[in-house]
Chain A
Amino acid sequence: MKRRDFLKLTGAVSAASVAPSVMALPASNKNNKVVVLVHLEGGNDGLNTLIPYTNPDYYALRPKLAIPANKVIPLDAKMGMHASLGGLKPLWDKGEMAWLQGVGYNQADRSHFRSIDIWESASSSNEYSKTGWLSQVLPQLTDGLHGIVLGQGIGPLAGSKLNAVEMENPKTFLNQAKLIQDMSYAHSNVASMKHILGVQNQLYATASELSHKLKRQIPVRARFPKTPFGHQMQSIAEMIVSGVNSPVYKAKLSGFDTHANQLQLQKNSLYHLSGVLQAFAESMKRAGLWNDVVLMTYSEFGRRAKENRSGGTDHGKASAHLVMGGSINGGRLYGKTPDLANLDNGDLAYSTDFKKVYGTLARRWWNVKNPWQAHGEIPFV
């Protein structure tokens, strides 16, 4: 007996629904424009990342932690970057990188978990949502693969409307996915079974796409630091270069929760970030894909304006974030520089809602409807 007939007979599958044996993935992303999200885990101190190095208030708030003006990489007459980000200066100079200032949201929550949920789901402070912000954007773009998360944290790609997978790296994923069988022919009227089959098909289709594209993997022509974050970003570069069709990738760098000993910790973390991002930009340029990629950082929150007594800073509100890519209108600072003379309860007040950044990516990058239109857009791309 043929497999199909058997299934018909057992009633597990309705005959009408027998689909081709491989789900039609990728139903290609209309414009091949990629966004790479980098989560700076812990809450990066924006004030010591993008530094108001001529502002006396800054030095008054941070007697121990302020970065001396002569160590800052000046970007304009008022703002400069932490010296550890020096490797990114050439990108800034070429107009391929920009800073977004004062990014945050109304009624900020100081819990790591809550705040990252709010960022990743684009919900408001008093609203609980478990679907990622990208589920309001990506289904407009493609019904194929939506995103790949390196490491853990499906956050911005969570939700039943998205085809997204989390993986340590593509090799391990493909190994695990070998156990996943093709179920695209099966169909069920029972909601529980329908759901499982749907998820299984997503896995199967993603694995097919990856194994197909990575069979002839094109090596990246850049040297990535041999760290977990370096490996994640290298994997992302490899997938992009090899033609894997995913509009979003996400990676994570930890170590930004600097309650104590911040000078050393943040110096190392930013240096690490800079090294990996340089390699990533290099790999994209060499593959001729830099114009098709936008990378942005995000974090739970910024940190308090005033330093604490342990040589660190505690959880705060708004922060600065960077965007980079060949199509970025870069070499510019966007948004209002936080006013250190008018703090919000000791925190940098937010002036740019993060949803404005998301909306910009939706409308100006992917050219689809902006679900957060009321917040407006930023011309960084």
Chain B
Amino acid sequence: MNPIKFSEARHLLSRTGMGVEWKVLQQLINQPFREEAVDQLIKTYSPQTPNPPRLTPLYKMDRLNKAGARGKKVMHNVMMRENDVLKKWWVKQMLITTSPFTERMTLFWHNHFTSSLASVKRPQLLLNQNKLLRQFGMGNFSAMLMYLTSDPAMLLYLDGDKNIAGSPNENFARELLELFTLGHGHYSEADVKAAALAFTGWGVNHATGKFVFREDLHDGGYKHFLGESGNLNGNDILKIILKQPRTAEHIAEKFWKSFVNLERPNPRVIRQWGKVFRESSYEISALMSEVLKSDVFWAEQNRGALIKSPIELMVGTMRTFPHRSLTTKDIMHTSRILGQDLFDPPNVKGWEGGKDWISTQSLLIRTSLQQKMSRDANIRAMARHFPKVSPDVMKQWLLPREPVLPPQHRKGELWYVQNLMFDPGYQLA
């Protein structure tokens, strides 16, 4: 067991929450050991969906869609409006939640099992998918995989509903293997074809928004997939995939990139994490706990080794300094401009993240944003919530590493905090 230091509690919080709230930081420091702090954090996860927005029911959307050009236009307007309702709802949850860890994990899974409003065109289905991500986000990955592969938003997003016997569409099968489970290079083209055939007949009832299995469109033929043969169906494929060690390792690699370091993962560590994940029968909390308790997570060289996503930067700042310097609408728009449009990832691979978050364009915008958030009126309001601590502790609170710019304290505390926020290190987690 390792006693937890201030800088370590800060590290844990900045990686698993949204921002570094002083109060929560104090609670973590009160835990005698790092391991207990991790256990306590994982316990805060909540599988329920908080106050989901009311959106136009799918049967109404479907009816409009079938009602000629005018109906389609009305449907389009409803969709555009409710897309924003949905995005703002999520931003708001991230701002007000008492379990930022839940939101962080939901965002992680949203970027794994991706689907987009732009292509699914049904905000209600994306909300349903978001509920699933929350339900399973700290649950069992096998169950999550079963539910997400038959999720209507996913089936529409990856043309799963168009995949029928006699005319297979490989889109879904390919991404399932390449992105959701095994990872590129761990299956053959023949495996993709076989998997596509096995999933034929999986579809969506547009009026109810529910999954349907269309027996008549299913290819019941004999298939070979990853060394197994038989009249395999979609569920058989998933079971075979879950037997492959690579599936657990691929998820472990994603955890590495999201929670440890944006650089290439260490293969030895990944094998270890994959083993723990498999031996727990794919309990996500077991993997999370293994990751957060590992030496590599706490290693000095991995502090500040991640780049904050636009959401982390904005929501995080607003939770660290509880002051409404941005509205939910501001956050929705700015995160889109900065390349993280919630519910609308750029493609099925999701947001690349890491270095991709910072380009010349986005850094200019991030810097202007920083200025907006820390301009005089805002920072004075924020200052009411500053802890009464020394400049040195303040620095350790706000930055993961020593500042690049020496912060000036002689002009007062506000100036000092502004200095810290403008340090390149503030962009890091």
Q: A165-B360, A186-B404 in contact; A193/B424 too (CB < 8 A)?
A: yes
Q: Contacts A128-B347, A183-B424, A200-B363 known; A192 to B368 CB distance under 8 Å?
A: no
Contacts A190-B304, A192-B428 given; does A183 touch B404 at CB 8 Å: yes
Interface string of B349-384 (1 = CB under 8 A from A): 100101110111101100110110000000000000
Q: Which residues A116-144 have CB closer than 8 A to chain B? A: 128, 130
- Is B403 close to A, CB under 8 A? yes
Tell whether, in the assembled complex, residue B307 and residue A196 are in contact, meaning their CB atoms are under 8 Å apart. Answer: yes
Q: A128-B347, A164-B360, A203-B364 are in contact. Are A191 and B401 (CB under 8 A)?
A: no
* A173-B368 Cα distance, complex, nearest whole Å: 11
Residue contact A180 to B364, C-beta cutoff 8 Å: yes
Check A196–B358 contact: CB distance below 8 A. Answer: yes
Q: How far is the CA of A165 from the CA of B405 in the complex (A)?
A: 24
Chain A 327-346, CB-CB to B under 8 Å as 1, else 0, gives 00000000000000000000
Q: Are A180 and B358 in contact (CB under 8 A)?
A: no
The answer on a CB contact under 8 Å between A195 and B355 is yes
A7 to B404, CA, bound (A): 7
B side interface size, CB within 8 A: 35
Using a CB-CB cutoff of 8 Å, which residues 298-320 of chain B contact chain A? 301, 304-307
B360 touches A176 (CB 8 A): no
- The answer to the question of A197 belonging to the interface, with a C-beta cut-off of 8 Å to chain B, is yes
Annotate B238-250 by CB proximity to A: 1 below 8 A, 0 otherwise. Answer: 0000000000000
Given A199-B358, A200-B363, A203-B363, does the pair A10, B424 have CB atoms closer than 8 Å?
no
In the assembled complex, the Cα of A190 lies from the Cα of B260 at a distance in Å of 13
Within A138-180, the residues touching B (CB, 8 Å) are: 154, 158, 160, 164-166, 173, 176-177, 179-180
Which B residues are CB-close (under 8 A) to A191? 261-263, 305, 355
The answer to whether the Cβ of B406 comes within 8 Å of any Cβ in the partner chain is yes
Closest A residue by C-beta to B356: A130
A residues 56-75 touching B (CB-CB < 8 Å): none
Q: Residues of A within 8 Å of B, CB-based: how many?
A: 37
Q: Given contacts A12-B403, A176-B367, are A192 and B360 in contact (CB under 8 A)?
A: no
Q: Which of these, B261, B424, B428, contacts A200 with CB under 8 Å?
A: B424
Q: Are B304 and A181 in contact (CB under 8 A)?
A: no
Q: Does the CB pair B402–A193 fall under 8 Å?
A: no
Q: A177-B364, A191-B305, A193-B428 are in contact. Are A6 and B358 (CB under 8 A)?
A: no
User: Which residues of chain A are within 8 angstroms of B355 by Cβ–Cβ distance?
Assistant: 160, 191-192, 195
Interface status of B213 (Cβ within 8 A of chain A): no
Interfacial residues of chain A within 177-213, with CB under 8 A of chain B in the complex: 177, 179-181, 183, 186, 188-193, 195-197, 199-200, 202-203, 206
Q: Does A3 contact B (CB under 8 A)?
A: yes
Q: Check A190/B359 contact, CB under 8 A, given A6-B406, A13-B404, A183-B424.
A: no
- Which partner residue on chain A sits nearest B367 by CB separation? A179
Contact B367 A196 (CB under 8 A): no
**B347 near A199 (CB under 8 angstroms)?**
no
Taking a contact as CB atoms under 8 Å apart, the answer to whether A154 and B359 are in contact is yes
CA of A160 to CA of B424 in the docked complex: distance in angstroms?
18
Question: Complex Cα distance A177/B356, Å?
Answer: 20
The interface residues of chain B lying within 8 Å CB-to-CB of A181 are 405, 422
Contacts of B307 in A (CB 8 A): 192, 195-196
User: B425 within 8 Å of A by Cβ?
Assistant: yes
Q: Is A11 an interface residue (CB 8 A)?
A: yes
Is the pair B404, A197 in contact by a Cβ cutoff of 8 Å? yes
Q: Are B371 and A196 in contact (CB under 8 A)?
A: no
- B334 close to A (CB within 8 Å): no
Starting from the known contacts A180-B364, A188-B404, 14 additional A-B residue pairs (CB-CB under 8 Å) come to: A13-B404, A128-B347, A130-B352, A154-B359, A179-B367, A190-B428, A192-B262, A192-B428, A193-B304, A193-B401, A196-B424, A199-B359, A200-B363, A203-B360
Which are the 10 A-B pairs with shortest beta-carbon distances? A10-B402, A166-B361, A165-B360, A195-B355, A196-B424, A12-B402, A179-B367, A186-B404, A6-B406, A176-B364
6 A-B residue pairings within 8 Å (CB atoms): A7-B404, A12-B403, A165-B360, A180-B364, A183-B424, A200-B363
Residues of B within 8 A of A (CB): 261-263, 301, 304-307, 347, 349, 352, 354-356, 358-361, 363-364, 367-368, 370-371, 401-406, 422, 424-425, 427-428
Q: Which of A's residues lie within 8 Å of B, judged by CB? A: 3, 6-7, 10-13, 128, 130, 154, 158, 160, 164-166, 173, 176-177, 179-181, 183, 186, 188-193, 195-197, 199-200, 202-203, 206
